[in-house]
Structure 1
Amino acid sequence: MFVTVLFGDDRMEMLNLNCKLVNFIHHLKERCGLDFKERVELMDSGGRVMNLEPLQRSGAPASSVLAARRLYVLLRVCQGNEELGGCRYVSLLNNTKSHPEFTELLKKLSNPNKETERKVRRERTQRSKNISSTVKNKKS
């Protein structure tokens, strides 16, 4: 059982899932040339972050969190402002042209506040329309 992790300029590493998660993460950082103190996550092709962070020191098998034969994108976890959602993710995949399925997902992930702002704006606009139609109906 293995997974493929994408990062850098079209680099990919195949990693074995038959190990403890703590060893998997350590080996992942080593193979990708990251400092061992860095916090990392993986994102699957559906845009879901795998939440490795709370399990960084877990003795659970890596196969209990990650699915075999899947592609994942390596992400760096950056500590952010609590008002903006705590932490944010930065893709370590530099060239998304060779993997277009990740392009839009990574944009949404790197700018979560923009997506939230759009939703809030849409809700406010909808409420305004509802209020003005209610006012018009009462006047009639």
Structure 2
Amino acid sequence: MFITVRYGDNCQEMVNLHCRLLILTAHLKRKCQCKPEDCIDLLDETGALMNLSRVENPASEFASKYLQERKRYILIRVVRRENSEVTSYESLLEDLGKHYPDLPDRLQKLSANTQARQNWRRGSFQRRAQTLSSTSARSRPTSPSKKSLRVALDEDRT
């Protein structure tokens, strides 16, 4: 059970999948000379992000749970901005477009989607706050609750 990971100047590394995710990512960081604090992930050849960087407990999860044997993956760096949920993705395979013409656009879209998601969340919180502040200022007629209607009906029956 192995995969091939592409990085650098057309370098490839065969990796055994029967290991913990933490060990796999540490090994790949050493091989591609990333900093230990760098966050990395893998992209398959179709452009699907494996989201290994979001696994809650990589020390206990096996890589084989997330990756398919005998497939080729591209090593990417995950860059999360401080004080923000915005994430961007950078290929660690040089000349990505030369090897995979569609993948540079895919990485750009993945980065843009996280930015759009962050903006949408921020906008929805602002809209909710505006709605709450504007509706709390208005007095709304209150309708009777189901319980009070039930009590009134029971009183009418007796």
**TM-score when scaled to structure 1?**
0.69
TM-superposed deviation, 1:81: 7.1
Question: Aligned pair in 2 of structure 1 residues 92, 110: CA closer, same or farther (>3 Å)?
Answer: farther
* CA deviations over 1:57-96 (Å, ceiling 9, x no partner): 331111001111111111111113777x621111111112
Mark the structure with the bigger radius of gyration.
2
Distance in 1 (CA, whole Å) between partners of 2:72 and 2:107 is 14
Contact 2:87 2:111 in 1 (8 A): no
* Unaligned residue ranges in structure 2 (runs of 5+): 118-158
- Mapped pair 1:57 → 2:58: yes
TM-superposed deviation, 1:48: 1.4
Counterpart for residue 22 of structure 2:
22
Contact 2:86 2:114 in 1 (8 A): no
Question: Aligned pair in 2 of structure 1 residues 40, 69: CA closer, same or farther (>3 Å)?
Answer: same
Counterpart for residue 86 of structure 2:
86
Q: Any runs of at least 4 consecutive aligned residues in structure 1 with deviations exceeding 4 A, and if so which?
A: 110-116
TM-superposed deviation, 1:100: 3.1
Of 100-109 and 57-66, deviating more is 100-109
Counterpart for residue 99 of structure 1:
100
Kindly report which structure 2 residues correspond to 1:60-139, keeping only aligned pairs within 5 A, or say none.
60-80=61-81, 86-96=86-96, 97-100=98-101, 102-112=103-113
- Structure with greater contact order relative to length (CA < 8 Å, sep ≥ 6): 1
Q: How many percent of aligned residue pairs carry the same amino acid?
A: 35
Distance in 2 (CA, whole Å) between partners of 1:67 and 1:57 is 17
Counterpart for residue 45 of structure 1:
45
| Cα-Cα RMSD | 2.5
TM-superposed deviation, 1:15: 0.9
* Unaligned residue ranges in structure 1 (runs of 5+): 117-140
**TM-score when scaled to structure 2?**
0.62
Contact 1:3 1:16 in 2 (8 A): yes
Counterpart for residue 121 of structure 1:
none
Contact 1:9 1:94 in 2 (8 A): yes
